[in-house]
Structure 1
Amino acid sequence: MAFTLRQLKYFVTAAELGQISQAGVQLNISQSAITTAVRDLEAFLGNTLFDRTSSGVVLTPMGRRFLSHAYEVLDAADRAMAMPNQESTISGRVKVAVTPTVMGYFLPTHLQRVGQLHPKLQVEIEELTRPAIEEALVRGQVDVGLLLTDNIQRTGDINSEVFFGSPMRVWMATGHELASGNSTDMKDVARHPLIMLNSDEAEEAAMRNWRHFGLEPSVVLRTSSIEAVRSMAANGVGVAVLPDMIYRPWSLEGRRIETRPIEDDLPPMNVGMAWNKAGTPSAVATAFMDYFRHFFFSPNSGNSAW
């Protein structure tokens, strides 16, 4: 049996975060997938990589040595993948409009990979609000929009595809009352002060969810800064209900942020692309769009990580 780059990535993420559950959150995969990958690695090596504790996982001496080698292997793979594809004949410019959340937490890695796949493809990026992206698509001012697809209004003029849905969880400080259980629900969350993110139409989406459950949150702070939300949650000012995609386990001050699943059926934050229904996308726009289709929909793409 051989190990895979994906298993190494899962192991490294669990080692860095110290928790299997948080590794799953960061990689946007199930906790069981991380657990299986680590167990397969341990079986292959014939050694235990982690000691399991009530608060998470701790590297064994063998695990610490293996981590060093895992970093070297993944770094070598990164360098290999950075080699440009000289055989690509795709040449030209594609204009892409992106909303702020997608720009900050989704696009950079994929933009690098598109450049490796099609070295002669020039991607012109513009950050816009969702309404401005829709207008630019309809007017033919941009070729593709990358955005939160559930917010699209002009569905009669615009086609869209969803890449993935990022689950919503409640964020809180270590030691918070809600952190004592394995999960919570919206009614329980509503009992606590809420920090509301209001960028990229996040507040409108959140309020639709609260109204669906007949609840009125006690909003202690509204901010367009995700870092401010992290800091406020980590310092116990309140809790936040936000998608996994923008979660990071630490605030800028180095304080821990924990998350818990929400038992209620909350819709995820769907990320995808959009284009004008009128006409046919150009060859360069199609190449750009096909990259994402292959990455997210190909059975062999390995889209969550390696």
Structure 2
Amino acid sequence: MAKLGYLAVALSIFLIVSIIPLPLLGPIVPKIPRAQAATVPITLSGFATTGWDGSTNPNPTITVRAFDTVKLSLSSADGAPHQFLLDGNRDGSGTVDCPSPDPCSAVFPPSTIYSFSVSNIAAGTYTYYCTIHPTSMFGSFVVAPDFSINANPSTLNIPAGSFGTSQITLNSNGFSGTVSLSSTVVPSTPTITTTLKPTSVLLNPGGSGTSTLNVTTTSFTPLATYNVNVTGTSGALSHSTQVTVTVTSGTIGGTATTNPRGLTLPLIGVATVIASAIVLTGIYVRRARAKRIHKPK
């Protein structure tokens, strides 16, 4: 009898947990950054006679990847005025093209922070220098080939039992090769399936390619918000984009309804199971008591 009671209570608890909608379990959907590139921090100290960073590491070569954002921390180590400039169009025109297509900082000392994106600069090698001391303060700035990946739309509202699509676009900046695509659903559930067609995209330098992401739900998919992470990989390069999927009402046989008191059907199910658990526990307790009362002395 005791085993039957324990089994009834355990089964009831399991059923309660299994049917509680995911939103009631708290925010379990982790977020990933939507930015497909990195922010690269770089520190440079200005010396008018010995160059950027002086004699320690004079005029170091700076290497970033296409689509990155560069965050420069600039300071004057000798007290003289300096200004950073990247010759983004290789014309040597100085501040005429500042700040575009030649990114350039404010004049300093004592120090300044300057951020810029290299998304619009073609992969290749360029020169950065101080506009005030260009003959001593200059170095190489390398934009390495890379690709980016983005989703459109980045949000989908899908009724349970239906599907939605998003176009995945890949762009190359100097990159050439095949990018393999994969997708994962977070939190994982067998009631949501994703497909990518095609599963790989061939990119040429400066070119682009697309793939279609299909997200399919079932009538049993819990009403909740999910993240579909699409990752493009080619060798050591890997970038991801995210599609936020919200599964809306839609149950077996039609649209989900609401009872007169405002409880959705999943919550009614929870209440039913809880009531069943109480009843089963009560039956077990009464039988146990009756057994003790009628036990021969």
Which structure's residues are more often helix, by fraction? 1
Identify the structure with bigger relative contact order (alpha carbons < 8 Å, sequence gap 6+): 1
| Fold match by TM threshold 0.5 | no
Larger radius of gyration: 2
TM-score, normalising length from structure 2?
0.23
Which structure's residues are more often strand, by fraction? 2
TM-score, normalising length from structure 1?
0.23
